[in-house]
Structure 1
Amino acid sequence: MVTDTTDINIEGHAVVADIGGTNARFCRINLATFELDRIQVFACADYPTLNDVMEAYRDEQEVALEHVAIAIACPVDSDQIDMTNHHWQFSIRGVRKSMGLKTFIVLNDFAAAAMSLVTLEPHELKQIGGGKVDPNAPKAVLGAGTGLGVGHLVKMPDGTVMPLPGEGGHVDWAPTNEKEWAIHRFIANRFGRVSAERVLSGPGLETLYLALADYHGRNVVPLSAAKIGQRALSGIDTLAVETVNQFFASLGSFAGNLALTLNTYGGVYVAGGVVPKLMGLMSTSNFRARFEHKGRFCKVAEAIPCFVITADYAGLRGVGQYLKQTLQQSKKSKL
């Protein structure tokens, strides 16, 4: 997280955004009530730079851009930002200066996803196995979209929470059976290294479809992730169904690894654009079985609950929550 500001102790409204490799979601936030309004979604490919899409939001929604906080799909550890799955590059200080902003906060998109967990209501979560949530224990969040995002949330002694962003989506993908080794070889021949993101993302779903076709000796026309999902949900394409089932099996293994990495008795939360659209097939897949298949630590994995986030614009709420906490901490430091 990087903050560039002259005075962050502000009132009124701010603008927050959640920017992925495909879409940029913007809204206005009331800093007193933290209600969101004037939500607008832009296709990143339609705008040459971040400044261009910010100006489009300002002009179309007729809002002032003074205090802005954005979450973005890439590491945020310096002034220079280079998106992982899109071409935008920018300097945080440069954007603040060129746009005339008083405040500009940039955080990783899955730091924002982690922060959103404290804003979610029970009806905005669908539990997939496991026991009860320990509210004081670490939480993990992952999400498949254009890429594979990962983050954690830990509770601090003073009651605040700290998001822990990372690049867990780029760890090695681990095959567990003969079919998955065949998939691994197919992807390795195409890309070299096989990361989890090569399988667990929208593009990964497309690659899985082709890999499974190759495994079965079939010639198929490449399909988009959306088309594969549609054909799987309708049941008209057995290869699409197998692809989605393989996706969920591998996602379960990956989510279970996250659960063990930080003993996330606070839960593992699945966000992103892919999974909510395929919920109809998740319950019949091997997701939870693979989540719990952890050898001597099966009992630990079995106790950890997993949830799918069904809330709209959770990322925007997470950015708002991070901004709120930053403001509160800034105010306390001045007392």
Structure 2
Amino acid sequence: MILAGDIGGTKTHLALFDWSHERTEPTRLETFQSSDYTSLEEMLEEFLVPPKPPVPLDTMNQSSTETETPPQTVHDASPVTIDAACFGVAGPVIDNHSHTTNLPWVVDGSALAKRFNVQTVKLLNDLESTAHGILLLRPDELHTLNAGAPPQQKQAIALIAAGTGLGESILFWDGTRYRPMPSEGGHCDFAPNNDTEVELLRHVRSHYLHVSYERVLSGPGLHAIYEFLRDTKKNEPTWLAEKIAAGNAPAEIAEAGLKGQAEIAKQALDLFASIYGAEAGNLVLKAMAINGLYLGGGIAPKLLAKLKDGTFMKAFTNKGRYKRLMSNIPVHVVLNEYTALLGAAGTAAQLARP
């Protein structure tokens, strides 16, 4: 049995798999709110408690007067023996150790192995884990924005994922298989492309000393774009301001924009999709990832209707003399929210093999 996890700033997925060589469905899968726990160890302590077996219905319906035999105590199932574990972590991983970026956690593979009696525990950057996962996806778990014309000889692939933060990764072809490499490219400097984006940069710089792409391409980033438009265009409807104040701000902005309920929300999505496409194109050019770009993370599937309207692809291909090259690159949206978990499971399965 192997243990896999996808540790995000908002949610953490943990699962057990009986996985040897081929992709399998998890035998157990649970999702946790990351901020509810002080550490991964605390979360694992809860997850690894074996579930109690169900009580037979005839026993549950039987009254105490119908039997002279006292009810037997229901015991927990036997603890699971874990052969290997792998966790995708939202933060840089150095020497199997990570300080998570959007959580106050320290995650250490060696300490986890000792604590939970697992021979091998490997940590991956969350986008490295997602990169492993996209190699395992089925065609129906992707939506193609641009079919492109990939070369016959395999070249690099790029992955960018906006969610609680912004992650990036590159998969290079070693002649036999794709090898994902970790990256913290989401923390590179935000580079405006037009006057509106220059004003956006100035607005965000009033709050942060360093403005990375993550500050504008993430859930909080969408909110930051909205606040910039609110403060400069003064066109925020009162009803939307109240919903944002009372609920999940990025979700409320996205819903209002996708439904065309508020012009300011539509403008925020336009700006978000354009910046997303531009940075995705930057990543592809840096890696010469002409075999394809994958959009992972939690935001892309939720904004699929916006990504399909051409705003993203226009910015993606807007690279001057390289527009024709960019137009030939396949672009896919990852629809499976457990892709990073699959990548961690596949890595753990390799570690568990003799």
TM (norm. structure 2) is 0.84
- Within the candidate set 28, 35, 42, 2:24 is matched to 35
Inter-CA distance 27–132: structure 2 relative to 1 (3 Å threshold): farther
Q: Deviations over 1:174-207 (max 9, x none)?
A: 1111111111110011112211000000000111
Q: Deviations over 1:262-294 (max 9, x none)?
A: 111220000101111111222225110110000
- Within the candidate set 309, 319, 324, 1:294 is matched to 319
SS at match of 1:182: helix
Q: In 1, are the aligned partners of 2:256 and 2:262 still within 8 Å (CA)?
A: yes
Task: Tell me the distance in 2 between the aligned counterparts of 1:68 and 1:324.
Answer: 8
Deviation at 1:321, TM superposition (A): 2.3
Task: Tell me the distance in 2 between the aligned counterparts of 1:104 and 1:324.
Answer: 11
Residue equivalent to 1:271: 296
Deviation at 1:60, TM superposition (A): 5.7
Inter-CA distance 171–130: structure 2 relative to 1 (3 Å threshold): farther
Q: Which runs of 5+ in 1 are unaligned?
A: 1-12
RMSD: 1.8
Q: Deviations over 1:22-57 (max 9, x none)?
A: 111011112234312211100011111110111111
Inter-CA distance 212–60: structure 2 relative to 1 (3 Å threshold): farther
Residue equivalent to 1:83: 100
Residue equivalent to 1:7: none
Q: Which runs of 5+ in 2 are unaligned?
A: 52-76
Which structure 2 residues correspond to residues 159-170 of structure 1 after superposition, within 5 A?
Answer: 159-170=176-187
Q: Deviations over 1:132-152 (max 9, x none)?
A: 344721111111111000011
Deviation at 1:130, TM superposition (A): 4.8
* Matched residue type, 2:35: A
SS at match of 1:59: coil
Residue equivalent to 2:343: 318
* Matched residue type, 1:15: L
SS at match of 1:179: helix
* Matched residue type, 1:58: L
What is the percentage of aligned positions where both structures have the same residue? 29
Task: Tell me the distance in 2 between the aligned counterparts of 1:144 and 1:22.
Answer: 13
Task: Tell me the distance in 1 between the aligned counterparts of 2:81 and 2:170.
Answer: 30
* Rg comparison, structure with higher value: 2
Residue equivalent to 2:41: 51
Q: In 1, are the aligned partners of 2:7 and 2:87 still within 8 Å (CA)?
A: yes
Q: Does 1:71 align with 2:57?
A: no
Q: In 2, are the aligned partners of 1:138 and 1:152 still within 8 Å (CA)?
A: yes
Task: Tell me the distance in 2 between the aligned counterparts of 1:28 and 1:297.
Answer: 45
Residue equivalent to 2:137: 120
TM (norm. structure 1) is 0.89
- Within the candidate set 155, 178, 183, 2:173 is matched to 155
Q: In 2, are the aligned partners of 1:58 and 1:65 still within 8 Å (CA)?
A: no
Residue equivalent to 1:3: none
Deviation at 1:156, TM superposition (A): 1.9
Residue equivalent to 1:23: 11
Inter-CA distance 326–139: structure 2 relative to 1 (3 Å threshold): farther
- Within the candidate set 216, 238, 242, 1:199 is matched to 216
Task: Tell me the distance in 2 between the aligned counterparts of 1:39 and 1:235.
Answer: 36
Q: Deviations over 1:192-232 (max 9, x none)?
A: 22110000000001111001112213467455111111111
* Matched residue type, 1:269: Y
Task: Tell me the distance in 2 between the aligned counterparts of 1:270 and 1:79.
Answer: 26
